[in-house]
Amino acid sequence: MSKVQIKVNDNGSLRITGEVELLDGAGNVMETKPAFSLCRCGLSNNKPFCDGSHKGKFDSQVRVAKEE
């Protein structure tokens, strides 16, 4: 099994790549594609998926803190 990758997109969604099971609050499996994006801004009208509503309205850039 390959490693699942989750990318925290700048000012946007969480991009999930790889074979995963996405469950709703009751534990039911939700249909997904091999790569999909989850909303991280709270503005999507299609939660938990990103629908692009974040564009221009969400500011968050995550970076790993590097020691010097």
Residue 41 makes contact with ligand FES by CB under 6 A: yes
CB of 16 to ligand FES, least distance (A): 12
Q: Which amino acid is at 17?
A: T
Give burial (CB, 10 Å; 0-12/13-18/19+) of 37.
Answer: buried
CB of 58 to ligand FES, least distance (A): 6
Sign of CA dihedral 36, 38, 41, 45: positive
Q: Which of 19, 23, 44, 59 lies at the binding interface for ligand FES (CB under 6 A)? A: 44
Site for ligand FES in 1-40 (CB under 6 A): 12-13, 39-40
Task: List the one residue out of 15, 22, 58 whose CA is nearest residue 38.
Answer: 15
By the criterion CB under 6 A, which residues form the site for ligand FES? 12-13, 39-41, 43-44, 50-54
